[in-house]
Structure 1
């Protein structure tokens, strides 16, 4: 009694990345975040994870980068994320834009948004089509074909 056995995945195993992606998409970070954002779904047009977690290149030190576009405020988003941060043991870094602010920044060629849109994304709410509609032609130039 009282003895514990701990297991750890072998990151060097040939199937590690595929298994990691499967777990993340079903019971991992993405599922937990999707559930947390669901209560704001009427106020959010699109929410997605980007950065190292979306690229499946995260380390144990990585934060989770989250983009939220819609009518939800930063305070509303943050209030949903505090328990998620505790449960996943990682900080979550949300960036929240209104639709008008997103369109304006994208139209002006905002470097940050352009870089995010060119990168890998995992959608929690909304999808590629809704993101394209908001971004229009500018989004297509930024690499919308890479959205997931």
Structure 2
């Protein structure tokens, strides 16, 4: 069975310094494939579906899938005449690979790009809830909290619409002005404090110091 080498964090930081993060870690073929397999690990895909989603040629795609299956990172199961591929939750590096993929290829980069037009009014934004805690399912919404000046819900929803289509998930934004955010933080049992006490994925700015 193939082995998976864990790169020390210091070496990884040296590797990505001055480079695009995803390009430094993944090849182009891996980026296209991992964003689906490990970006949405609760889903199973058949070969033709992955070929359509990734745009990879049949030979390149099957080579990557064989390598992942041999390493135990992906389950390949026969369903009738089709084979379905899904991230293997029993892999010892499953959680780390899912987290790394989502931060570099999946939910976070897609949302970050979608929210760029809202700056400079948008001061801070982050993902919370089941996606941030990695307990989400295929039907889970993506919960996003935004703090900024003069943020209009309609404008935010319009900015996030392409991301919803790309990720195949409903995005649920929760918007606050800086003043309202700070006021709610002074309430010990407020919704905002409960969110901040749990895992989050930063999109823009500082989660704990948005203003």
Structure 1 consecutive aligned stretches of length 4 or more whose deviation exceeds 3 Å: 3-6
Residue 108 (str. 1) matches residue 187 (str. 2): yes
Larger radius of gyration: 2
Q: Tell me the alpha carbon deviations over residues 82-111 of structure 1, each in whole angstroms, 9 at most, x when there is no partner.
A: 111111111111000011111222223452
Root-mean-square deviation (CA, aligned residues, Å) is: 1.7
Contact 1:36–1:80 (8 Å) recurs in 2: yes
Task: Identify the residue that residue 168 of structure 2 maps to in structure 1.
Answer: 89
- The CA deviation at 1:45 is 1.0
Task: Identify the residue that residue 60 of structure 1 maps to in structure 2.
Answer: 138
Contact 1:50–1:67 (8 Å) recurs in 2: yes
Q: Tell me the alpha carbon deviations over residues 34-80 of structure 1, each in whole angstroms, 9 at most, x when there is no partner.
A: 00011112011110001111112211121111000011221111111
Task: Identify the residue that residue 46 of structure 1 maps to in structure 2.
Answer: 124
Task: Identify the residue that residue 110 of structure 2 maps to in structure 1.
Answer: 32
- The CA deviation at 1:129 is 5.8
Contact 2:125–2:207 (8 Å) recurs in 1: no
Aligned length: 130
Instruction: List runs of 5+ in structure 1 lacking aligned partners.
Output: 135-148
Instruction: List runs of 5+ in structure 2 lacking aligned partners.
Output: 1-46, 49-82
TM-score where L is the length of structure 2: 0.57
TM-score where L is the length of structure 1: 0.80
Matches within 5 A, 1:67-146: 67-71=145-149, 72-109=151-188, 111-128=190-207, 130-131=209-210, 134=211
**Separation of aligned partners in 2, 1:14 and 1:122:** 22
